[in-house]
Amino acid sequence: MNQLSNSSIEVIVILGPTATGKTRLAVQLADQMRGEIISADSRQVYRGMNIGTGKDLDEYIINGNKTPYHLIDIVEPMEEYNVAQFQEDCHRVISEIKNRDKLPIICGGTGFYIKSVLMGFEFPMIGPDNKLRQELAYWTLEDLKLKLKNISPKAYANNPLDTRRRLIRAIEIEINRGKVKDIRNKAKRKVQNPLVVGMEYPRRVIRERITARLNDRLKNGMIEEIENLLQNGVTHDRLKSFGLEYRFISEFIQGDITKSEMTAQLNTAIHRFAKKQMTFIRNMEKNGIQIHWISEGNINEVLNVIDKRILLL
């Protein structure tokens, strides 16, 4: 079995916490299923942010062939990109891939992006509110969370709350929601017949993989990559808005923390982020999204799930 009919599975989705080998599994599946990969990562859309976002572009080459991928390196770091834009781009790319008689494979760790496509969220066409952004620029993360919760408990429950940038954007949308009548993607439907695969590892293994990957990235140019972004006009404030690697390395470059402090704090922050990712994904299941959990990214388990799905049709 190496092909799927459009009537059985429209798209495969691979999700899971950071450092679980999602890209590797997606490429293996694409090789066997004549697929193309759509990145669902809120930071991989930015050019020049390769090591810190884990693009791992060399992984897209398998058996000497380059697997086509989409929604990577599509905007500059100082540009804004949000979930509504991703949803629109993702639907467009899915149609293009299907028109080539290929299988779309969405792969990434930004659960809110994936959820927006699977559940067909509608987003108001709300542009930047510069006055509000200036007002919130120096608020703490906790104060921003509290403000969003007070404005809209639903938005607080459904939005990722890991960076100031995302929180401010969520507040911006909720405050201006009633002022905008047009809805972006009003005619878009949610993806039909998706097969959602989750990467399942023992927590201890994920912790080990996160720490090993961080050490490898630091040895292989992640700090230099961020220094290069600064030299090319990306500001420290903008870097910090991306969170995790970009925030802590920016603070190190500015002299606010030592290298050892940066490494330790960043390692802890990534572990916490992985837990938040899993919490968000488990909540997706509570919202009715069926996830097939695959042990340590075993491709044979995925293929068995696909076979069973087709036999049921």
pLDDT single digits (tens) 143-202: 999 999 999 888 887 776 767 888 888 898 888 876 655 444 444 568 889 999 999 999
Give every residue of the chain whose pLDDT is below 70, as ranges: 1-7, 160, 162, 178-189, 311-313
The radius of gyration of the chain's CA atoms, rounded to the nearest angstrom, is 20
pLDDT of residue 186: 45
Backbone angles phi, psi at 13, to 5 degrees: -120, 130
CA separation for the pair 150, 144 (Å, rounded): 10
> Any bridge partners for residue 198, and if so which?
15, 293
Instruction: Report the interhelical angle of 259-286 vs 111-119 (nearest 10°).
Output: 20
Residues 6+ apart with CB under 8 A from 283: none
Element (H, E) at 101: none
pLDDT of residue 188: 55
- Token output for 255: 């002299």
Q: Strands, DSSP E only, in the chain?
A: 11-15, 35-39, 61-62, 65-66, 69-70, 103-108, 123-124, 183-184, 194-200, 291-295
Secondary structure class of 201 (helix, strand, coil): coil
CA-closest candidate to residue 40, choices 96, 91, 2: 91
pLDDT of residue 77: 97
pLDDT of residue 180: 57
